Amino acid sequence: MMLSSDAIISHDGESSLRIGIGLAHDEEKVMKSVRASSRFGEIVVYRDAGSMCKDLRSGAIDAAVRGDLPSDQAMSSLKEAFDIRTTQRVAILEPLRGGVFLLAPVGIDEGTRPDEREAMAISGSELMRRLGGRGRIGMMSAGRESDIGRDPQVDKSIEEAMAITESLRSKGLEADHVQITIESALDDHDVIVAPDGIIGNIIFRTLHFLGGAKALGAPVVNIDRVFIDTSRAKEDYCDSIALAYRLIKEARL
């Protein structure tokens, strides 16, 4: 049975959690989301990304949702608060045909190195299993294996994806080199790792903004707290708040 977004964001009772959300421009949208999400706990509004990230690090809030804060401010504040060089974001998507899957990397400056993509594949697989998925990884590359020899850049992408796939398998994970064929990869994999963050971002935008896929949010997986990145183009942030709630509850089991 395919994992659905409704199953992920379902609520299992009263909550005493404190979840922060950022507000920069669209007060009506953010506050509407806050009022509609009260069943998930106390929703704390922040107008400053630095304060929200510091409170997340200290434990003053249990999770944080970017809301409509500017991405550069939110990510730089997160890096500073958690002392990390780069963020690793993984997007949770549900295409119109159904079946939730995880896409990474989705930040244009993320996943440029093979070791970063492997780390995101491992973290993404674990996250999907926590949400009720299989966590089977599909490593994408810039071409089919039969395309080797056509272009040095394509060759490098294929060779890296194949090497990462073998490394993941050696660690006991279900992983396949799905090449460039994302259209068939989703039949058997619920974790898709793009060749880099630029391609991942383009896939995300195409599916979400043109293809109508639901985007629940993008958890940051290289910190030990729950931070959900969001697009300012979302109609509301209720599903992202619900995702934050679910990840906190799963982490505490």
Confidence (pLDDT) at 13: 63
Q: What gap in Å lies between CA 60 and CA 57, rounded to an integer?
A: 8
pLDDT at 23: 97
pLDDT at position 172 is 98
What is the residue extent of each domain of the chain?
1-84+223-253, 90-216
Are 1-84+223-253 and 90-216 equal in CATH topology? yes
DSSP secondary structure string for all residues of 14-65: ----EEEEE-SS-HHHHHHHHHHTGGGSEEEEES-HHHHHHHHHHTSSSEEE
Write the CATH number of the domain with boundaries 90-216: 3.40.50.10750
CATH of domain 1-84+223-253: 3.40.50.10950
How far, in Å, CA of 220 to CA of 77, rounded? 13
Output the pLDDT for position 17: 93
Look up residue 226 and give its two tokens. 């729950």
- 10-residue mean pLDDT profile of the chain (253 residues): values are 82 81 96 95 97 98 97 96 96 94 95 97 96 96 96 97 98 98 94 97 95 96 96 90 93 73
Which pLDDT belongs to residue 232?
A: 81
The span from the CA of 228 to the CA of 58, in Å, is 17
**Which long-range CB contacts under 8 A does 194-197 form with residues at least 24 apart?**
194/103, 194/104, 194/105, 194/106, 194/111, 194/140, 195/140, 195/141, 195/142, 195/157, 195/160, 195/161, 196/105, 196/111, 196/112, 196/117, 197/105, 197/106, 197/107, 197/108, 197/109, 197/110, 197/111, 197/112
